[in-house]
Amino acid sequence: MWATPCEFSECRQWSDDQKSRRMVILQNFQRSKVAVRGADIPRYALCMSLAKKRIFLTLVLHLCLGFAFAETIVGKVVGVADGDTVTVLDATKTQHKIRLSGIDAPEKAQPFGQSSKENLSRLVFGKHVLVDAGKFDRYGRTVGKVIVDGVDANLEQVRAGYAWHYKKYEREQPIDDRGVYAQAEAGARAGRVGLWHERTQVAPWDWRGCRRKQPGTEGVDCGTRFRQ
């Protein structure tokens, strides 16, 4: 005998007929349906089963698609991978890979990639920081604003000419930050500081796109002809 869908907060059974063969169809997250078969299964157990499945599916979606959240991470910077990625060690000895939000720095193999990393190291390495985190990216890194001694390290990278304002994701920034970051890049360009000292620059997103299109990078000009 068919029974009604089981809601997340309440399970209702319409019929007690043919208890030995009853089937309960559960309405699950985003139209997925879970069928639970068995005799005399307590309604509490059915609800708990659905709750666990819903939590699992939600976690999977979060990991696969990335999701927004609000979190503050406080700790010491113990690693700097490049001009926009650091590792923070918190009080519980947990390491957090942090991708600086709102900016995109040259890749390490690009001109000024090493200089960008060194500038970020001078700003934050070995120091205690506060990370205003907003989401995870597709690589599992925490994306957020890194504050050191009251200074926005992300903004300082742009201001020093060692990163672009990442306009592709500017809508994820607070409105005030969008304007400040854009002005910082414009000022760095006008002052020809950092990477803007060169006449021609290749944005890191263009450089990555070039490398993806050219599996064999030997002899491929993706902007690497411009030396630091």
- The DSSP secondary structure of 150-211, one letter per residue, reads TEEHHHHHHHTTSSEE-GGGGGGS-HHHHHHHHHHHHHHHHHT-GGGGSS----HHHHHHHH
| List of residues 6+ apart from 59 with CB closer than 8 A | none
Q: Which of 107, 156, 159, 185 is catalytic?
A: 107
CA distance 147 to 153: 6
Q: Which of 21, 71, 141, 211 is catalytic?
A: 141
141 carries an active-site annotation: yes
99 carries an active-site annotation: yes
Q: Which of 7, 37, 99, 185 is catalytic?
A: 99
Q: What does the chain come to in residues?
A: 228
Catalytic residues, which ones? 99, 107, 141
